[in-house]
């Protein structure tokens, strides 16, 4: 069984637990996911099965879209509601919509983030959350991410609890921590804050409407209809130019051979190669040798 399943990850489950459950349902260990989702985040989690695990990295290159809520008035150790409260500042007066929008605009574009301590980023071979749980601190690597869109959906002031709830939509590059982004929004507004809810609407080119739940997948396996819901591995490569190989060219590619631009009649930097209607490899142009060489092989038969 080879292909990509756009899974709907339910809130309360880890991404690893989803993969473990799918290994039981599909009776295969060759399963991987693209883009980990925190346990308290729901939404699109593309799952690669069988030979499609080779395109996990390419699925992760596509942008992601989220919808969520920032709760302004206190902060936690984890930047969401799962952590312990570490700071509090009452919102005495409602934060104006225009001020929120202007601050969101400042956080749009290429920005630098420091991953939260409660995250799966590895430092010296150890995940940050392992340091955090042990009460240790460690220098975290800075990373640049792109916030393509950061939009205010609604804002509701709670005068009784002196808090404000800001609902938002974000389109961003891979590697973006939404928790960190919205906590920074709250900080620039002059308050501590936490991400109170988050749903991933889009990832790997899949939308929420395309997803299947674990129950859906289990039912499809039982009725032997799962294949009609799976996407071929080349779905992850749909943005690359494609070239159909002739038999002599395919024989070269089978052995990892290099090809000249004249053989392929192209000048593109990266290309997907097909033979007999099937995706076989991803090649890139080597400027030094002026030849196309393998980036990734997907099949040699």
| Residues with catalytic roles | 38
CA distance 31 to 53: 6
Give the Å distances, CA to CA, from 167 to 88, 156, 172. 20, 9, 16
CA distance 215 to 208: 16
Alpha-helical regions (H) of 5-82? 15-26, 56-61
CA distance 31 to 37: 16
CA distance 14 to 38: 6
Closest by alpha carbon to 54, among 35, 36, 32? Answer: 32
- Inter-residue contact 34 to 7 (CB < 8 Å): no
CA distance 21 to 234: 25
Closest by alpha carbon to 20, among 33, 39, 1? Answer: 33
């Amino acid at each position: 069984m080879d292909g990509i399943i756009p899974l709907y990850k339910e809130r309360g489950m880890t991404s690893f637990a989803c993969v473990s459950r799918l290994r039981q349902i599909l009776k295969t260990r060759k399963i991987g996911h693209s883009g980990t989702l925190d346990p308290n985040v729901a939404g699109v989690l593309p799952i690669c099965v069988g030979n499609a695990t080779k395109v996990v990295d390419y699925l992760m290159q596509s942008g992601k879209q989220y919808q969520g809520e920032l709760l302004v008035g206190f902060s936690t150790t984890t930047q969401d509601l799962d952590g312990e409260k570490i700071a509090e500042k009452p919102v005495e007066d409602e934060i104006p919509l225009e001020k929120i929008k202007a601050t969101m605009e400042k956080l749009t574009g290429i920005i630098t983030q420091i991953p939260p301590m409660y995250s799966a980023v590895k430092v010296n071979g150890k995940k940050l959350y392992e340091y955090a749980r042990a009460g240790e601190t460690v220098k975290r690597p800075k990373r640049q991410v792109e916030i393509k869109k950061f939009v205010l959906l609604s804002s509701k002031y709670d005068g009784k609890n002196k808090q404000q709830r800001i609902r938002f939509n974000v389109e961003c590059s891979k590697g973006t921590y939404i928790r960190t982004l919205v906590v920074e929004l709250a900080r620039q507004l002059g308050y501590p804050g936490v991400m109170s809810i988050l749903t991933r609407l889009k990832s790997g080119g899949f939308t929420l409407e395309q997803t299947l739940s674990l129950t859906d997948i289990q039912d499809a396996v039982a009725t032997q209809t799962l294949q009609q819901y799976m996407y071929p591995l080349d779905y992850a490569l749909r943005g690359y130019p494609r070239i159909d190989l002739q038999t002599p060219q395919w024989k070269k590619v089978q052995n990892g051979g290099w090809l000249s631009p004249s053989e392929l009649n192209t000048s593109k930097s990266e290309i997907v190669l097909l033979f007999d209607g099937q995706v076989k490899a991803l090649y890139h142009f080597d400027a030094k040798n002026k030849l196309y060489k393998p980036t990734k092989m997907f099949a040699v038969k």
